[in-house]
Structure 1
Amino acid sequence: MNSNASDRQRQIRALFDQYIEMYASRDERLIGRFSDNFSGYTGSGGFLVKNLGEWQKITRQDFAQVPEPIRIEMLDLVLQDLTSEVVAATALFRIHLPFGGEILAKEVARLTLIFRCEADTWKIAHSGISIPYHFTQGNEVYPLKSLQERTRALEALVEERTQALHASEALYRQLTEDTRDVHWKTDQRLVITYISPADERLRGFRAAEVVGHHVFNMLTPEGAATVRQLLVAKPRAENSPTTSAFVTFEAQHRCKDGSLIWGEVLSKPDYNEQGELIGYHGITREITQRKQLEEQVNLLAFHDTLTHLPNRRLLEDRLTQAMSASHRSDHYGALLFLDLDNFKPLNDTHGHGVGDLLLIEVAKRLKTCVREADTVARFGGDEFVVLLSDLDRDKDAAADQAGSIAEKIRQSLSMPYWLKGGIEHCCTASIGATLFKGRDTSEKDLIDAADTAMYQAKEQGRNAIRFCP
């Protein structure tokens, strides 16, 4: 790892450590670290909060319920450098409260923090915390009111299960049916022979509606395809009692009400004394919120937060794909580089908030001017890029197609804008264009060529289109 990467990792670690230190010490200054555009998943509540004030209220409630410092026992930490302005940290840890014993500390909490640099200051843009305290009451963050009752119940349960240790089948059913994870077994044909009651709580199907049916009935077609691929990919030579191990995969599951949830499946084959495969058993854990968080992380990493258009990083990836597709198909593609001609006066007169509204409207108009297969990206500031794919094989015909779309964009962007507060603004765009076929030039050179043509359009009077020679 080079020194720049090491410095970057240390910077991300420092941001995360500051958060943990302030949270553990119940430092009220933490409330000021959240972004105005914050979103987050609560711990035991498990719902998405999109309002900064509501999140600050929840944080104060957390601190008020347990005002004394708490201890964080870190188990694992993953740092991700997504873009120059967006970083993420994901941690697994246990929380030790200053009172109440160690019952809560047996649970493993999961925290994902997304930091975004806003006006040279790192802010927390998203917090996704999963604390499996399923017995909280009311608005509790930590289940202090029911802790004593829970402790007595757990002690009684331990005593009961200790006495029933010799009844292995009954004990097995108690262990599987008390958890939120779904325990299941199948025969060698993947027909369900047992499923725990947790499946009814999770998907709504009673056990009688599942047992005797094929596993694929539980999954979407894509999930069933994933299972088929795993069965084909695993050589039969490895399917033996001595070498088999749990296989982990993710798949969408069907619910009785028609909705879909994501499940993380751990599966292991079962063999008889002769070494013959007789079935499978495993555990399914719901991970829908985790998948949603991954989608949000992807949106932050590859899309502009204001216009929701692809950002420069995603544009470069799609340009690489388009150039490779052009090489295979022998069709031309085109790159259009746009810059708004009189954007700065709007910001100077009415402020950046109104300027942001104009950029959002420009993004909407651009998307109506191109085909579904094309890409509209915000390059930065008031600069936008349009990637056109699968144009004509003939260069002149492809240039005509690109020019026609560019003219459509120029006319659309030159129409007056009516912004919030009754503000009318007239704004044109200078457009530079360049064609490409295959991979005869680099992605950077293509962008630079379109950028140069755009500046030629500005120098020759603006509100114009110029092709790079």
Structure 2
Amino acid sequence: MRPDRQQLIRTLFDEYIEMYSSRDDRLTCRFSHNFSGYAGSSDVLVTDREEWIRITRQDFAQVPDRINIEMLDLSLQDLTEQIVVVTAFFHIHLPIPKPILSHETARLVLIFHLENNCWMIAHSGISIPYGLAHKGEIYPITRLEKRNSELESMITARTSELAAANRQLEILSNTDGLTNIGNRRQFDLMLQTEWNRGLHSHSLLALIMLDIDHFKQFNDHYGHLAGDDCLKQLASTLSQSGRRAGELVARYGGEEFVILLPNIDKQTLFGAAQHIHQLIQSIAIPHAKTDLGIVTVSVGVAYLSPSNQQNPLELVRQADAALYRAKLAGRNCIRFMDER
């Protein structure tokens, strides 16, 4: 375990113990809305956060003075970036003359979950052998093993759920909400990834950047809902236009799209650009404000062999400059970075 993570987990545990020992009501604000837990010799698994807050306050009211925790052993587990577990064994010294629990070994399991940049307590389970042992047992081994099994199952299930949620969140954060293709964030990430790969493979990395001609006039004439449909049709067409390994189609912004093509030769690149240009014309989306009466695009194409003397933004700059020249040339055409 990394030292910084170990320190984080220990700090979370120490803060919990201090608040619990001092009967600090601020502890009730640290319970997750997805909380579960059980206390002492209870056989009831509490899954309602408000009920657990009630139990905690009842605990504090019954013994309002500070209690002493005599730590015997501590285990820290770093399950995921968002889930950590602490298992502690200790004696409880209550502020009363009778040492009712001071010689009994209690076990506390805490699960902390990172929620909105705050570490919340998702599970708290304390086991005290007092009153739990089955017939023929000195310590409640059978019940503790069952608790451990339930806890492991819960951790496995919650870890799986969190992993699935994180995967979905990653997909959503990299997807354009309107067109359902890659967004600017995904393009930036892939550009850096493919640039780094190209540094080792010494292969060409190419970028096709295209812009819908007179799109403002399209929106003004047909309305923004039709404009959204136009963007969706183009995105669908581009994403189905013969995907190669590593190729990315993304909405760069507004009516601009980009196609990132790693490990490609110039002849194939030129053919791909011409194919895309013709393919968009072939779907023939009506556009009364263009010469052809259909939606057309201006295309800029750039290619570089990644090197340490340049950065990935140079590829974007070259493609953008080529796209600008295509617009100056009257739109509905292709310009390459080495054309003037």
In 2 relative to 1, CA 180–285 (structure 1 residues): closer, same or farther, beyond 3 Å? farther
Q: CA deviation at 1:323?
A: 2.4
Hey, what does 1:409 align to over in structure 2?
276
Unaligned 5+ residue runs, structure 2? 1-25, 37-47, 60-109, 287-292
TM-score (structure 1 length as normaliser): 0.43
Asked if residue 383 in structure 1 is aligned to residue 256 in structure 2, the reply is yes
Asked if residue 441 in structure 1 is aligned to residue 310 in structure 2, the reply is yes
Amino acid at match of 2:297: A
SS at match of 2:314: helix
| Higher alpha-carbon Rg | 2
What is the CA RMSD across the aligned residues, in angstroms?
4.2
1:339 to 207, 211, 214: 211
Hey, what does 2:240 align to over in structure 1?
368
Asked if residue 432 in structure 1 is aligned to residue 305 in structure 2, the reply is no
Hey, what does 1:455 align to over in structure 2?
324
Aligned residues: 239
Q: CA deviation at 1:403?
A: 1.1
Q: C-alpha distance in 1, partners of 2:264/2:169? A: 33
1:259-274 to structure 2, matched below 5 A, reads: none
Amino acid at match of 1:358: C
Q: Deviations over 1:154-205 (max 9, x none)?
A: xxxx99970627855872322342577365xxxxxxxxxxxxxx6xxxxxxx
Hey, what does 2:131 align to over in structure 1?
162
Q: C-alpha distance in 2, partners of 1:322/1:287? A: 31
TM-score (structure 2 length as normaliser): 0.57
Q: Deviations over 1:266-307 (max 9, x none)?
A: xxxxxxxxxxxxxxxxxx554222112101221233222222
Amino acid at match of 2:258: V
**C-alpha contact 1:334 1:435 (8 A) present in aligned 2:** yes
Asked if residue 102 in structure 1 is aligned to residue 55 in structure 2, the reply is yes
Amino acid at match of 1:317: L
In 2 relative to 1, CA 340–104 (structure 1 residues): closer, same or farther, beyond 3 Å? farther
Hey, what does 2:191 align to over in structure 1?
319
**C-alpha contact 1:92 1:111 (8 A) present in aligned 2:** no
Q: CA deviation at 1:101?
A: 3.5
**C-alpha contact 2:322 2:336 (8 A) present in aligned 1:** yes
2:146 to 177, 189, 202: 177
Q: CA deviation at 1:357?
A: 2.2
Hey, what does 2:90 align to over in structure 1?
none
**C-alpha contact 2:297 2:331 (8 A) present in aligned 1:** yes
Hey, what does 1:281 align to over in structure 2?
none
SS at match of 2:302: strand
SS at match of 1:102: helix
SS at match of 1:385: strand
**C-alpha contact 2:195 2:306 (8 A) present in aligned 1:** yes
**C-alpha contact 1:96 1:104 (8 A) present in aligned 2:** no
In 2 relative to 1, CA 130–163 (structure 1 residues): closer, same or farther, beyond 3 Å? closer
Q: Deviations over 1:366-386 (max 9, x none)?
A: 122242321111111111111
Q: CA deviation at 1:111?
A: 8.2
Q: C-alpha distance in 1, partners of 2:147/2:230? A: 55
Q: C-alpha distance in 2, partners of 1:305/1:130? A: 33
**C-alpha contact 1:181 1:285 (8 A) present in aligned 2:** no
Stretch of structure 1 that moved more, 308-317 or 456-465: 308-317
Higher relative contact order (CA 8 A, sep 6+): 2
**C-alpha contact 1:450 1:468 (8 A) present in aligned 2:** yes
Q: What is the aligned-residue identity percentage?
A: 26
Q: C-alpha distance in 2, partners of 1:366/1:375? A: 10
Q: C-alpha distance in 2, partners of 1:105/1:410? A: 72
In 2 relative to 1, CA 379–74 (structure 1 residues): closer, same or farther, beyond 3 Å? farther
